[in-house]
Chains A and B, each alone.
Chain A
Amino acid sequence: MWIYQKKLEFPINIKDPDLRIAKALMAQYGGPDSELSAGMRYLTQRFTMPDDRVRATLNDIGTEEIAHWEMIGTMIHQTVGGASLSELEAAGLAGYYTMHGRGVYPADPNGVPFTASYIQSTGDPVTDIWEDMAAEQKARTTYEHIMNLTDCEQYLAPLRFLREREVVHFQRFAECHNILREIYPDGKQNKLRR
């Protein structure tokens, strides 16, 4: 069960929209290392996670990711929502407009739509946590690339916050990895049938 709270995790108010950044932000709305991938990945992996602490971490970080997904969608919406057709075309968004108008759709900046093949859930707790640590690093790198494309504080402030969350989440997953290593010192967390 989830309860919706009618506010963002970090305030966003885009007064000077930059369509180049909206396009770049699609990486984090519908790309392989997006907030959508992250939330779906952790909330799905938690079902077979054997340790209480690691299960709680997957549940709670997964929940926070959905709030981050909402922040990215908000930035895209506040940028694309009022754009003219010529502005959309100039930003390389004619194809996006053809398919989605000014709607917010989970695709990456190159128009590749979101797919569940971006995530994995192996049922092997150590393998899953390695994937999650890598995912946090990839998302941090992507945020840094987006931040390199703008000087506008209206985008940079929420992006700085989101980048920092990737660092904290990586730290928590690294602790989860240590917990699992203590439980399975022989590396046999995934039973071999033969």
Chain B
Amino acid sequence: MSECELLNRIGEVQFICVELNLYLDTHPEDQDARNDYIAYSRLLEGLIREYEAEYEPLLGFGHSPTDKGCWVCSKWPWEKN
């Protein structure tokens, strides 16, 4: 996957996680949703690690253990493509 495709895929999977997380906040007993949340969280983690191994660190404060790219000089999200 290209950098852009991979970022879009991360965005899609993360959105599923956001939705499931908010749903589980008011339905913590829903075991099906919990299973989905764990499965998509694992998928998301894998995609982020894949992105970081190839391109740039995505997270600050110690959550992106990668020597690839550069936190300071990679583009900020508000900069135009």
Known: A9-B15, A14-B80. A168 touches B22 (CB 8 A): yes
**Which residue of B18, B56, B71, B80 is within 8 Å of A13 (Cβ)?**
B80
A-B contact pairs, 9 of them (CB 8 A): A6-B56, A6-B57, A8-B11, A12-B78, A53-B25, A73-B78, A168-B19, A168-B22, A176-B26
Q: What bracket does the count of chain B residues touching chain A fall in?
A: 20 to 34
A binding-site residues for B, Cβ under 8 Å:
3-15, 52-54, 56-57, 60-61, 64, 70, 73-74, 77-78, 168-169, 172, 175-176, 179
Residues of chain A within 8 A of B18, CB atoms compared: 9, 64
Task: Specify which of B21, B26, B74, B76 lies most central, judged by the most chain A CB atoms within 10 Å of its CB.
Answer: B26
**Which residue of B7, B8, B22, B77 is within 8 Å of A172 (Cβ)?**
B22
**Which residue of B7, B19, B59, B81 is within 8 Å of A4 (Cβ)?**
B59
Interface of A (DSSP majority class): helix
Q: Is the CB of B26 within 8 A of A60?
A: no
Bitwise, B53-78 to A at CB < 8 A (1) or not (0) is 00011111101000000010010111
CA A180 – CA B57 in complex, angstroms?
41
**Which residue of A11, A77, A175 is within 8 Å of B26 (Cβ)?**
A175
Q: B33 on the interface (CB 8 Å rule)?
A: no
Q: Is the CB of B26 within 8 A of A7?
A: no
Residues of chain B within 8 A of A4, CB atoms compared: 59-61
Q: Is the CB of A70 within 8 A of B80?
A: no
Minimum distance in angstroms from B11 CB to a CB of chain A:
7
Q: Is the CB of B25 within 8 A of A57?
A: yes
Residues of chain B within 8 A of A78, CB atoms compared: 78, 80
Known: A9-B18, A57-B25, A176-B26. 11 other contacts (CB 8 A): A3-B60, A4-B59, A4-B60, A9-B11, A9-B15, A52-B28, A60-B21, A61-B22, A64-B18, A64-B22, A169-B22
